[in-house]
Structure 1
Amino acid sequence: MRQPFRKASVYIALLLIFEAFTGLLIIIITAIYQWILASYLDDIEFGLLFSYLFNVYIFGAQLVVTFLCSISLWNRLWKRRCTPNVRLMISIWLFYSCVIIASGFGTLWNLYYNIDVLENSAESALFRGIDEYYSNPEWKLLWDGLQLRKHCCGVHGYKDWMKADWMPRQVLNCSGKAVLAPIACSKKSHENSISNYMLGSEDSEGRREPFPSLTLDSINTNGCLPVFTDVVWRYFYILLLFTLLALKFLIFLCCFIKYILQRQNVGDGCDNSGLTDEDGRPLVMVKYPRNVRCVIVGEDDLASDIAPDVAYCNCDDAEGEHGDYCEE
């Protein structure tokens, strides 16, 4: 096909690369947020999270593979003459690209529809982690790391720790501000919390208590579940941005390709429109290599039952309006 202006093929290739790069960014961002969200969940809920994000991985992989392969496709199309078959191939390719972008928006809708399910799964997992905090080392490490990194305490708040069945029911001090919570809930500004925790206090049987007595001023009172919800919504908005960006590049491609095909029609008659004889019947254009001899058959010979004598001529000398084409 002819390029309607200089470096038209370069612009097409850049748009295809941008589409593929957008798909790669979607895969990378999804992997990062999956790792972040996994810190709130155990193995069961992590499998559920991966099943929700699996369609996002497929969408990003489709963008990468489809538009990288499209670069090779367009490199071949530039070398071919614009024919109805080429136009059909381009139309099918554009339709398939639109289906991929539409599937991306369907994936976004599925993620948006299941955000509540993810929140409920995280909530149940975190409450189960509180119940198993003192008996399961994995949950203890998960909760301590989560509360230290995110500066939160409990699921909805610090009172979730005080409601645990294994939590000792001791009498609060006279100020009424003492709370029972893991040392990981402490604020960084209160350095004496660590020393109090290390010293601890022993009960009547000589056992060191698992939690020190902290105050509301020395701990983070906000819960960890709202932080999880904020991360999910932040990931959703980032994914929506990249999907809209992929749609924008596809719209540019559609408009650009439509302009190219229109210029092909104006330039060399891609549809072979307007090539008819005196009776309005379409002429068949046959392209032949140079220095190839052709046969001229007249209308009288076609009407006769007797095979005519074959007359050879040089096609370059044959009468016709087109230099590289013979008319029948």
Structure 2
Amino acid sequence: MVIFCYNTSLRVMLLLKHIHKVTVLLLYGLILFQAYGMKLHYTGGLRLIAVLLKCPHWKRATLVSSVWLLSGSLVAANGMLVYAACRGTLKALMKELSSSLRIGISQYLTEPTWKALMDTMQVELSCCGADKPTDWHEIPWINMDFLNEGSELVMKLAGADGKVLPPVSPYSCCTPRVLAPCYHDPLQQSEWREVWSESSPLLSASLHTRGCVEAVRAPLTRALLALQCFNMLVFLFQILIVVLTQLLRTSAREAVLRGDCSGTGRGVLFGRLPLQLQRTTSSREEELLACSSTSAGIVPEPAAGPSYCAHYSRRGRRRHCRTHARNSYPYLS
């Protein structure tokens, strides 16, 4: 999931890091946080299963299993929150990007940084303008200082503030898909002025038709959709884990209460086991001891206490399982 989101949005993010670096890092940080949380949870679950198979009498097994199930539910719920946060961040990014690109268009000829960024974005993403290609015709970005003031055409296009709004676009807006001249500058391409006067369809066909905001939104939307589908699968998978765990726990408990530790039991999702299966504490201990002794092939000692597994030390070193009676619970393993 992380690799897909990264590969899908890498080219876009490399361009946006010069404009909205904090927002880009926030999007990547949220996705990495969710992925690392899932990695820790499921690798911890595999480790827990290995411990319970080797030491089924661990007295903290119920507590640790419950904590693991709770953490998995929190990780699944956090995935939904991460998706909602990424979606809100993406919406805010698109609004800020539109305003930023409009500023970049107005400073295209005065700031070399904006000129390099706009040209690179329009060439690599096959886009033109901020929201639409005509943004270059509506935002004043050409000053009278860059034009010939003695030209009649320039004087007609000039405004009172000295800004000119001709139908001129940068050369980076040209598309290589059309096998025809790129009609992007009627002021300098004087031999093609009749094309503009006739309103030929080649004018729009020779330029990119989508804005750069839409070109940025498309790969990020695909990455967001992949994140949503993945989180939904994780949520459904966590529900399946909880259901199977509850069925396994209740079926094993019913088998023990019936006195058939190696047999099968009936599991329930809600409620408790039938009352006829409830026994006294002494009879349960006798049945457990008998079942475990029979499966181990020994006769239990009357004075021996219940077997249990030593817990793990804080440093992570595994201690040996100590038992007063050499017996086992095959229904747990």
User: Which residue identity does 1:101 align to in structure 2?
Assistant: A
Matched, 1:117 2:92: yes
Q: Deviations over 1:37-58 (max 9, x none)?
A: 3255253412222124422210
> How far 1:163 sits from its partner (Å)?
3.7
- Asked if 1:235 corresponds to 2:210, the answer is no
- 1:74-153 map, 5 Å: 74-81=49-56, 85-153=60-128
Q: Is the contact made by 1:56 and 1:107 (CA closer than 8 Å) also made in structure 2? A: yes
What letter corresponds to residue 279 of structure 2 in structure 1?
G
Is 1:133–1:140's contact at 8 Å kept on the other side of the alignment?
A: yes
Partner Cα separation in structure 2 for residue 149 and residue 31 of structure 1: 17
User: 1:7 maps to which residue?
Assistant: none
TM value normalised by structure 2: 0.63
What secondary structure sits across from 1:180 in the alignment?
Answer: coil
In 2: Cα distance, 1:284 partner to 1:267 partner:
11
Matched, 1:268 2:256: yes
- Uncovered stretches (5+) of structure 2, i.e. residues with no partner: 145-153, 158-165, 191-201, 262-272, 305-324, 329-333
The one-letter code sitting in structure 2 at the alignment partner of 1:50 is: L
| Aligned-residue offset at 1:239 | 0.8
Amino acid in the other structure paired with 1:145: T
- Displacement of 1:226: 2.2
Q: Cα distance, 1:29 vs. partner? A: 2.9
Cα pair distance change 1:276/1:39, threshold 3 Å: closer
> What is the rounded CA distance, in whole Å, between the counterparts of 1:138 and 1:129 in structure 2?
9
Name the Cα RMSD after superposition.
3.9
- 3-state DSSP of counterpart to 1:274: coil
User: Aligned-pair distance for 1:292?
Assistant: 8.8
Partner of 1:225: 213
Cα distance in 2, alignment partners of residues 281 and 240 from structure 1 = 48
Q: Which amino acid aligns with 1:247?
A: F
**What are structure 1's unaligned runs of at least 5 residues?**
1-24, 173-177, 203-213, 297-321
| Stretch deviating more after TM superposition (66-75 or 286-295) | 286-295
Write the letter of the residue equivalent to 2:212.
C
* SS of match in other structure, 2:54: coil
| CA separation of 1:264 and 1:182: change in aligned 2, threshold 3 A | same
Runs of 4+ that moved beyond 6 A: 194-197, 280-293
Q: Distance in 2 between matches of 1:281 and 1:249?
A: 35
Q: Give 1:93 shift.
A: 0.9
CA distance in 2, matches of 1:185, 1:126: 14
Secondary structure of the residue that 2:142 maps to in structure 1? coil
* Pairing 1:182–2:170 present: yes
1:157 equivalent to 2:132? Answer: yes
3-state SS of paired residue (2:20)? helix
SS at match of 1:43: coil
Counterpart position of 1:215 = 203
Kindly report which structure 2 residues correspond to 1:241-260, keeping only aligned pairs within 5 A, or say none.
241-260=229-248
**DSSP-derived class of the 1:179 partner:** coil
Distance 1:292 1:281 in 2: 15
Match of 2:6 in 1: 31
Superimposed CA distance per residue, residues 155-191 of structure 1 (whole angstroms, 9 cap, x where no aligned partner): 122222234444257468xxxxx83101121121445
Alignment coverage as a number of residue pairs:
255
Letter in 2 for 1:223: G
Q: Return the alpha-carbon distance in structure 1 between the equivalents of residues 78 and 183 of structure 2.
A: 55
Structure 1: distance between partners of 2:184 and 2:86: 45
Q: How many angstroms apart in 1 are the aligned matches of 2:17 and 2:58? A: 58
**C-alpha deviation, 1:232, in angstroms:** 3.2
Structure 1 residue matching 2:16: 3-state secondary structure: coil
Q: 1:41 to 1:276 in 2, by over 3 A?
A: closer
| 1:97 Cα deviation from its structure 2 partner | 0.5
Aligned equivalents of 2:326 and 2:206: distance in 1? 90
Q: Classify 1:113/1:295 alpha carbon distance in 2 versus 1 (closer, same or farther; 3 Å).
A: closer
Residue-by-residue CA offset, 1:107-147 (whole Å, 9 max, x unaligned): 11222333331111211221232233334444333322322
Q: Deviations over 1:266-319 (max 9, x none)?
A: 333599962445xx99879778997996659xxxxxxxxxxxxxxxxxxxxxxx
C-alpha distance in 1 between matches for 2:128 and 2:284: 84
How far apart, CA to CA, are the structure 1 residues paired with 2:102 and 2:178?
Answer: 27
- What is the percent sequence identity of the aligned residues? 18
Q: Quick check: 1:40–1:126 contact (8 Å CA) kept in 2?
A: no
State the alpha-carbon separation in 1 of the partners of residues 250 and 110 from structure 2. 72
